[in-house]
Chain A
Amino acid sequence: MVTLTAPTTRSGAGPTDAALVLAARAGEVWAQEALFQRYARQVLALAQRILAGRDDADDLAQDAFVYAFTRLDTLNNPQAFQAWLRSIVVRTASKRLRRQRLLTRLGLRRNEPIEPDTVIAADAPPDIAAELRAVYGLIERLPSEERVALVLRRVEGMELSQIAEEMKLSLATVKRRLSAAEGRLERARARKGAF
């Protein structure tokens, strides 16, 4: 179909994700912005929890939204926008971490350890703070998929099937990644005498 760009008018679409997605697909910028405003906090928070770096999280959030808005046509179920967007964030984070790891290995990027106290809220209960400290003390050294899987499991508290869905990996692969990551986590804890 040929479409003419015409003066932007509100289509009267309702507030559901599906309506916003349909309007955004039609080029309505207000609908893109509405979707952004609806999910920006979630996306930024998820990005920051996975990457543990504010600037990187901003870039990841941008990449995820741009990717989503330029590929809305590929979303079969517009009402599933939220889950689709989360999956984009997770997979984009994984790619980004893989690239950073490569650059680090090539000596083109400094590997800056995460300072757990800059990540963990002051009001975290001691057991949760200890868990988060262990996770964030380790993840910078993990391969990207292990890192993402571990954060989704230990920080986001997600089920394995959900993790598999968001990472677009098989359940078996997720189990292997988590098993490897958790093994490293336990060994790190043992070394530090955390138990």
Chain B
Amino acid sequence: MTPDTPPSKYVKVDVSPARIARVWAEVSSRLDAAPSRGRRFASRGTALAVLAGAALALALYVLSERHARSVWPRAALETANDAMAVALDDGSRVELAAQTKVRVSGTEPLSLALALEHGRVDCDITPRPGRHFTVSAAGVEVRVKGTRFGVELAPARDRVEVDVSRGLVEVILKNGADRRELAAGEHWSIDLAQPATTNEPRAATSSEATDSSAASTSGEPVANAPPASDSAPAAAPHTSAPRTAPGARELLDLGNAARRAGDVAGATHAYEELLSTHPTDARAGLAAFELGRLRMDRLGDVQGAISALQKAVTLAPGAGFREDAMARLVEAYAAAGALERCRSAQREYSKSYPGGVHATAVARQCGAQ
């Protein structure tokens, strides 16, 4: 061996654009989930919203770092037709949806308090010892313990919804009628216009989406709606019916995280749930591919792998991983002893990817020598 010809030159490595694209898709997806990345919240603010956001950011900063006394406590931020985001230096982020108004209401050192007057605010809060972060909406207070969550106040101010995507929050009704903790994946809502005595049955999960939709789209104000923040809601909460259908992105992230942590059962479950609840989502193909790999490599479930890989090939005709999925499918058919289907898949691969990176390996399958 000489320094000019290191053996590394003779190790087979596939650095095809398809493989690189697939790795980037995964990296990008994981970075999206990381709190330090700005992309999620970028590119949507109008100039007005940015200016207003600067005011809120400064207010939050002042409140978080110093004793803000009189200037900022009632600072307000309102968005029109664009969303807007504010990032704090500790990685925490606050995103206002369109048609949202929040007011800074906290004045204590190391205490951030936002009052949601209408619309929706999503918060991604970095845990910080000694700091309290709360969002209140029409008498409902959400205390944060290092988490990502959203609070929505319906236009008619008659319904508050809280959903938690990560971590833990504590929801408190100001009259003390209810206090509970919500963990990741849980959803809680309350109909403020509905007297407690005429409480609806505890919400079944299946009806929750309908209820929520109806409440958030009802345009008429409710005559006895409570004032902004200091009167207790005269209503019964739809007590923490957990939201059972997390989004496709969330499920893919969960599956990938579980897979990387070696939790095969957890990863399989997340991918399967994504495929069953979001079969038309753009991520379904990738979930099917990962599921196929797990079933094949870790679970020895060849038939299950075939089923998942078939889905991957079908669901993502233009995806970078399709070539890998087709090659894996050939391998799975060979392992199952389904030689006729194996050869058919082999022909399909060769036709789709003549000279593909797996051509040699694929050609060796299906009983070929």
Contacts and interface: CB of A to CB of B under 8 A. Distances in A.
Contacts of B60: 2
Per CB-CB distance, the 4 closest pairs between chain A and chain B, nearest first, are: A27-B38, A157-B6, A124-B10, A41-B15
B93 to A, nearest CB: 8
A36 B335 CA distance: 36
B168 interface: no
Residue of B58, B61, B260 ringed by the most chain A CB atoms within 10 A: B260
A186 interface: no
Contacts of B26: 58, 62
Interface size class of A (residues with CB under 8 A): 35 or more
Interface in B1-35: 1, 3, 5-15, 19-20, 22-24, 26-28, 30-31, 34
A16 interface: no
Given A32-B31, A36-B24, A132 B87 contact: no
B125 interface: no
A131 B7 CA distance: 8
B359 interface: no
A121 interface: yes
A11 interface: no
A97 B86 CA distance: 40
A28 B12 CA distance: 34
Nearest to A72: B36
Interface of B: 1, 3, 5-15, 19-20, 22-24, 26-28, 30-31, 34, 36-39, 41-45, 50, 53-54, 57-58, 60-61, 85-89, 93, 260, 262, 293, 297, 361
B104 to A, nearest CB: 13
B50 A6 contact: yes
A164 interface: no
A149 B13 CA distance: 20
B27 A66 contact: yes
A155 B11 contact: yes
Given A44-B14, A48-B11, A103-B262, 16 more contacts: A2-B57, A2-B60, A4-B54, A5-B93, A32-B31, A44-B15, A44-B20, A66-B34, A69-B31, A120-B12, A121-B11, A121-B12, A128-B7, A132-B7, A132-B11, A135-B7
A2 B39 contact: no
Contacts of B37: 27, 29, 69-70
Nearest to B89: A1
Contacts of A108: 262
Interface string A92-120: 00000001000100001000000000111
Contacts of B6: 155-157
Contacts of A33: 24, 28
A36 B86 contact: no
Contacts of B7: 124, 128, 131-132, 135, 154-155, 157
Interface in A122-180: 123-125, 127-129, 131-132, 135, 154-157
Given A62-B26, A157-B6, A3 B11 contact: no
